[in-house]
Amino acid sequence: MLGIVPATEVPVDRLVELTHGLRQALVRRGEYLPADWVEEAANDLRAGRLAGWVLPSSPGGLAVVSVHGARAVGHLHVEPGPEARQRGATLLAQLRANISREAGRTDAGVTGLTDIEERGVAATFADDPGFSVLRRFRLSRGTQDVVPQEGAPFPSGIRRIPVRSLPLEQLAQLDWAGFQGTPDEAFVAEDVSADQRLLGDILDGRLGRFLDEASGAVVNSDDQLVGAILTSEESPRTAVFLDLVVHPAFRRHGMATSLLRWGIRASAALGYPSVALWVTETNSPARALYERLGFAREMETAIYRWSTPGPAPAAHPQSGR
């Protein structure tokens, strides 16, 4: 095995280099981490508050993981250069070896590898029990060719309200209910409390400047919360839909389509020439909805997963992040 060491034994300057590279790689593919995360994560790794392992050579790599009950979430970043596939496989093996076998699911994202290198790493673990690869697609479309809305933007009896008018706890309950049992469930949070923290980060602008004017929740005539769309600025040219969710009790009534059409038009009104979102490859109904509304794939990324064997979750087009 290549010379991998615990992050607690690595100088913080080297950890900053690696976390900075990880952040840059995520930003290049349209994801977001706040700039202050770099040194914060490096210090947490050095102090042992965040579990991690490092290939300190240059080029090297970094693996980080956090465990939440029966679920573990990790990431490996491989610096480009010779033996990148081998370094990625070493980091992933180290990450997996240090997670309790009692963890029902381990998900690990990856940055820094080419598609061929990433698939080579996946092939290394293909025979592991419970191992699989989830692929996530980034879809985008322009905002200037949206067909004008005929009539009200939402079905009869449905009205839009500001997201910030809702208690964060209520929004998290909607989000949690809407994503359970879908292929995108793995990308929400490990429990309702963590989901609430994630939503708080979105509203606070930690995942990009939050666009109140292109975000909203919808309620019915009984003031029941039906769904929501949360939008942030990815760049001066692109708005990104970080959350689109419909409560299971209100699915199959065109709510996701209405929310998405409204979000596109609102983003256009704010001056963003394009909008983007992420969806899991296996969520075929959601992908069909997005493609029907003009979204096209522009990139993909992989999630390495180990899980306890079980039935595949049902897909729902009204939920996607």
pLDDT of residue 317: 45
Strand-pair category, 105-111 with 51-55: unpaired
Decide if 81 contacts 114 (C-beta within 8 A): no
The answer to whether residue 312 scores a pLDDT higher than 50 is no
pTM to 2 decimal places: 0.80
Number of domains in the chain: 2
- What is the domain extent for residue 277? 141-299
Lowest model confidence (mean pLDDT) among 4-13, 173-182, 238-247: 173-182
The answer to whether residue 168 scores a pLDDT higher than 80 is yes
CB atoms within 10 A of CB 14: 17
Residues 69, 187 share a domain: no
Rounded to an integer, the average pLDDT of 193-200 is 87
Residues 224, 89 share a domain: no
318 within domain boundaries: no
pLDDT of residue 195: 84
**How far does CA 236 lie from the centroid of its chain?**
21
Residues 95, 36 share a domain: yes
- Take residue 287 and report the two structure tokens written for it: 């992908």
Residues 152, 60 share a domain: no
136 within domain boundaries: no
Backbone angles phi, psi at 26, to 5 degrees: -65, -40
Residues 119, 152 share a domain: no
CATH number at residue 13: 3.40.630
- Take residue 106 and report the two structure tokens written for it: 């381990």
3-class state of residue 229 by DSSP: strand
The answer to whether residue 169 scores a pLDDT higher than 50 is yes
